[in-house]
């Protein structure tokens, strides 16, 4: 019996390259996801790298420019001169099927990667030096990395690619337009410029001030606008989160929701049906470690990209080692969430508790030093927000029903304070 060979398709590789050389705009169709390492033959990978280099310099990748790039990098001799480029162009009559050919190249590359990952998983099965849970987590991570390889870019990216993508994103936004997702609060958006891809935003407050309420208010607004939200609720049950969302939608007291549903109130039933259509996904498993949390995020992303991740709250997440003390655990979780934001190119909104130090001061507005558990939170976060409600400390306050959101750290912009209105009966924040 002939042993199976690794998957590859030379015809698809040649057809892909021929299409790229034949039609200068074909690279636009595949350039964002097809990688040089997807090609089985080295000479094909070198040609595709040259095509990408021309594209990144905004030069049309034709036989002349690609030949020059191959000559510049010393790769022209490896592919045996320009004759191969001419052959590739004559093998196909049109570039109309470029995506079909390129997806075949990608698919066979993923097949080879799966075979390699299978070998690593087998090795983990034989390795008794590590705990079985650690090995299971490592095996799952290998597989889910492959499952999301189409959405998640890996390895180094040239500055020319970064510059090109940055220019496109900035030019796509009109003057005054946000660079990230709107929070739903104009004053806050003015300070933050929105929730930007790859950012870790820490939202902190003392218990009972409204961390979960503000998170749900933001998530609800984004979901209504058509965005996909992933929520890791490590503290509150998913049914209670849904109850709060219903109270927001119906604008009635949260405690009245169960009675309305039990009585068959049509308005409440309709609101529940409308909420069910929102693209919000909740994982309320308790005490997840950071690796498992990221694995589950990969599973959800494999179906469709997620626009915003929420973790409520990060001090309840575990590190991968049960032997870590609180400082090391929070540090590991903070590092993991920062990595998660970068991996998925989506903002991560992580809720955090504050230390009791804020209660002992005459001025109760939180400071960065009040972040509980580890200095890594301040270091890793792109933004740090604090919620302050004066009425909780001064019953006769003139600011009853108001909540201040203090942006005390903003790595890519300024800091400041946004005033909002807090409605206790529906646990909802409203813009002023």
Question: What is the DSSP code string of 227-282?
Answer: --EEEEESSS-HHHHHHHHHHHHHTS-GGGHHHHHHTT-HHHHHHHHHHHTS-EEE
Distance CA 198, CA 341 (A): 4
Q: Which CATH number fits domain 177-431: 3.40.50.1860, 3.40.50.2300, 3.40.30.10, 3.40.50.300?
A: 3.40.50.300
pLDDT at 155 > cutoff 70: no
**What whole-number percentage of the chain has pLDDT above 70?**
88
Residues 243-296: tens digit of each pLDDT: 888 888 888 888 888 888 888 888 888 888 888 888 989 888 766 777 778 777
**What whole-number percentage of the chain has pLDDT above 90?**
19
Q: Which of 389, 409, 413 is nearest to 399 (CA)?
A: 389
What is the b/e burial string over 186-195, where b = at least 16 CB atoms within 10 angstroms of the residue's CB? Answer: ebbbebbbbb
Residues 52-83: tens digit of each pLDDT: 988 888 788 889 999 999 999 999 888 888 88
Q: What is the pLDDT of residue 38?
A: 94
Q: What is the pLDDT of residue 316?
A: 66
Q: Which of 212, 214, 204, 182 is nearest to 430 (CA)?
A: 214
Check residues 315 and 13 and name the one with the higher pLDDT. Answer: 13
Q: Which two tokens stand for residue 333?
A: 């979780």
3-state secondary structure at position 420: strand
Domain positions in the chain? 1-172, 177-431
177-431 shares the fold of 1-172: no
Own/partner contacts of 421-424, CB < 8 Å, gap of 24 or more, are 422/210, 422/213, 422/389
Q: What is the pLDDT of residue 151?
A: 46
3-state secondary structure at position 181: strand
Distance CA 367, CA 357 (A): 10
Q: Phi/psi of residue 79, each to 5°?
A: -90, 10
**Is domain 1-172 given the CATH code 3.30.70.260 in the classification?**
no
Q: What is the pLDDT of residue 323?
A: 62
Residues 76-111: tens digit of each pLDDT: 888 888 889 988 988 888 888 888 899 999 989 988
Check residues 85 and 131 and name the one with the higher pLDDT. Answer: 85
On whether the pTM is more than 0.85, the answer is no
Q: What is the pLDDT of residue 47?
A: 94
Check residues 113 and 374 and name the one with the higher pLDDT. Answer: 113
pLDDT at 45 > cutoff 90: yes
Check residues 133 and 342 and name the one with the higher pLDDT. Answer: 342
Characterize the bridge pairing of strands 200-205 and 229-233: unpaired
Under a CB-based contact definition with an 8 Å cutoff, are residues 189 and 178 in contact?
Answer: yes
Residue 172, C-beta contacts closer than 8 angstroms, at least 6 positions apart: none
């Amino acid at each position: 019996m002939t042993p199976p060979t690794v998957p590859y398709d030379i015809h698809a590789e040649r057809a892909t390259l021929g299409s790229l050389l034949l039609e200068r705009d074909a690279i636009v169709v595949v350039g964002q996801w097809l990688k040089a390492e997807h090609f089985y033959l080295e000479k094909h990978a070198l040609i595709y790298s040259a095509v990408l280099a021309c594209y990144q310099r905004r030069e049309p990748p034709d036989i002349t420019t690609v030949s020059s790039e191959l000559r510049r990098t010393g790769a022209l001799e490896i592919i045996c001169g320009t004759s191969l480029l001419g052959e590739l162009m004559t093998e196909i009559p049109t570039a109309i099927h470029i995506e079909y050919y390129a997806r075949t190249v990608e698919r066979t590359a993923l097949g080879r990667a799966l075979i390699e990952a299978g070998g690593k998983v087998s090795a983990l099965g034989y390795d008794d030096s590590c705990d079985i849970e650690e090995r299971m987590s490592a095996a799952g991570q290998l597989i889910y990395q492959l499952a999301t390889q189409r959405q998640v870019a890996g390895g180094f990216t040239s500055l020319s690619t970064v510059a090109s993508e940055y220019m496109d994103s900035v030019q796509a936004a009109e003057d005054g337009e946000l660079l990230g997702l709107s929070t739903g609060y104009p004053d806050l958006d003015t300070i933050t410029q929105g929730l930007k891809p790859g950012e870790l935003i820490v939202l902190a407050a003392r218990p009972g001030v409204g961390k979960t309420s503000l998170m749900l208010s933001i998530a609800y607004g984004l979901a209504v606008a058509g965005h996909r939200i992933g929520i890791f609720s490590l503290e509150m049950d998913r049914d209670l989160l849904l109850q709060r969302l219903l109270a927001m939608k119906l604008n009635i007291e949260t405690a009245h929701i169960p009675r309305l549903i039990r009585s068959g109130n049509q308005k409440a039933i309709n609101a529940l049906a409308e909420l069910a259509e929102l693209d919000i996904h909740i994982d309320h498993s308790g005490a997840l470690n950071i690796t498992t949390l990221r694995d589950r995020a990969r599973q959800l992303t494999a179906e469709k990209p997620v626009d915003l991740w929420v973790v409520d709250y990060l001090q309840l997440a575990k590190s991968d080692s049960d032997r870590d003390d609180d400082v090391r655990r929070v540090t590991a979780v903070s590092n993991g969430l920062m990595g998660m934001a970068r991996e998925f190119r989506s903002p991560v909104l992580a809720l955090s508790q504050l230390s009791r130090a804020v209660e002992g001061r005459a001025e109760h507005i939180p400071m960065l030093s009040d972040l509980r558990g580890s200095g890594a939170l301040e270091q890793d976060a792109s933004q740090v927000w604090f919620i302050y409600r004066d009425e909780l400390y001064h019953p006769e306050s003139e600011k009853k029903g108001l909540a201040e959101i203090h942006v005390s750290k903003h790595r890519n912009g300024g800091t400041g304070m946004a005033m909002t209105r807090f409605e206790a009966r529906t646990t909802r924040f409203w813009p002023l």
